[in-house]
C-alpha cells in the first residue's frame, strides 16, 4: 500500500500538467489545481490541506462556480459539467445517504434543489459524506432562507470541506 508521503513525493516530482491532472478530481476548479500544483513541494498532509484551503479562499466566483458545476445535483449521478471519473466515483460515495433513501424523500430533495437553483443560480453544494437524506434536506431547507452573500459563503465552505475529504482519499490511494 502506498503511503501519503509516497503519494506526495511522487506528486512533487511530476511535471506541472501531470500534477494538475492528479489533484483535479479533488476539486474541479482548474485554477485551484493549477495554483496548488505551483505550491509544490508540499511536505505532508497538514501542509497540503493548509495550502489547499488558502488557494481555495483566494479564488474568484468563476473559479468556485467551475468547481460547483463538477458535482451532480443531490440524488443525481451526472454533473452539470464534464468531470473526471474519479470525481464521479467519489460523488457517488458521498451521496450514499441519498441514493439509499425512499422515493418520497428523494422527490422532496429534488423539489428543494430546484427551488435552490432558482434562488441562487447554482446547484446546492453540501458536504454530504456521512449525512442522511433527511439531514441533507433539513440543511437545504435552512439554506434556502439565506441571502445570496451568506449562501455563497456557505457553498464555498462546503466545497472546501469536500476538497479536504477528497485530498485525504487521494493520499490514501
Distance (Å, rounded) from C-alpha 82 to C-alpha 145? 30
Q: What is the model's pLDDT at position 92?
A: 72
The predicted pLDDT at position 102 comes to: 80
Assign residue 15 the CATH number of its domain: 1.10.3330.10
Burial of 157 (0-12, 13-18, 19+ CB in 10 A): middle
- Write the CB contacts of 39 (distance below 8 Å, at least 6 apart in sequence): 51, 55
- The number of domains in the chain is 1
Q: What tens-digit pLDDT sequence spans the chain (173 residues)?
A: 788 899 999 999 999 999 999 999 999 999 999 999 999 999 999 999 999 999 999 999 999 999 999 988 876 666 665 777 877 677 777 776 666 668 888 889 999 999 999 999 999 999 998 888 899 999 999 999 999 999 999 999 999 999 999 999 999 96
Give the pTM: 0.90
* 3 state DSSP class of 72: strand
Q: How many alpha carbons fall within 13 Å on the CB side of residue 64? A: 22
Domain ranges, residue 35: 4-171
Q: What is the pLDDT of residue 100?
A: 64
Predicted confidence at residue 139, as pLDDT, reads 97
Amino acid at each position: 500500500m502506498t503511503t501519503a508521503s509516497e503519494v506526495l513525493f511522487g506528486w512533487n516530482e511530476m511535471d506541472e500538467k501531470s500534477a494538475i491532472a492528479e489533484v483535479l478530481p479533488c476539486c474541479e476548479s482548474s485554477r485551484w489545481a493549477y495554483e496548488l500544483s505551483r505550491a509544490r513541494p508540499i511536505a505532508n498532509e497538514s501542509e497540503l490541506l493548509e495550502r489547499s484551503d488558502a488557494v481555495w479562499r483566494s479564488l474568484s466566483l468563476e473559479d468556485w462556480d467551475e468547481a460547483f458545476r463538477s458535482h451532480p445535483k443531490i440524488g443525481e449521478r451526472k454533473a452539470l459539467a464534464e468531470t473526471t471519473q474519479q470525481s464521479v466515483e467519489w460523488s457517488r460515495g458521498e451521496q450514499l445517504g441519498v441514493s439509499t433513501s425512499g422515493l418520497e424523500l428523494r422527490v422532496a430533495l429534488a423539489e428543494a434543489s430546484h427551488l435552490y437553483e432558482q434562488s441562487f443560480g447554482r446547484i446546492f453544494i453540501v458536504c454530504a459524506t456521512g449525512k442522511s437524506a433527511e439531514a441533507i434536506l433539513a440543511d437545504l431547507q435552512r439554506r434556502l432562507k439565506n441571502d445570496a452573500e451568506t449562501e455563497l459563503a456557505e457553498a464555498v465552505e462546503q466545497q472546501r470541506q469536500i476538497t479536504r475529504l477528497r485530498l485525504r482519499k487521494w493520499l490514501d490511494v
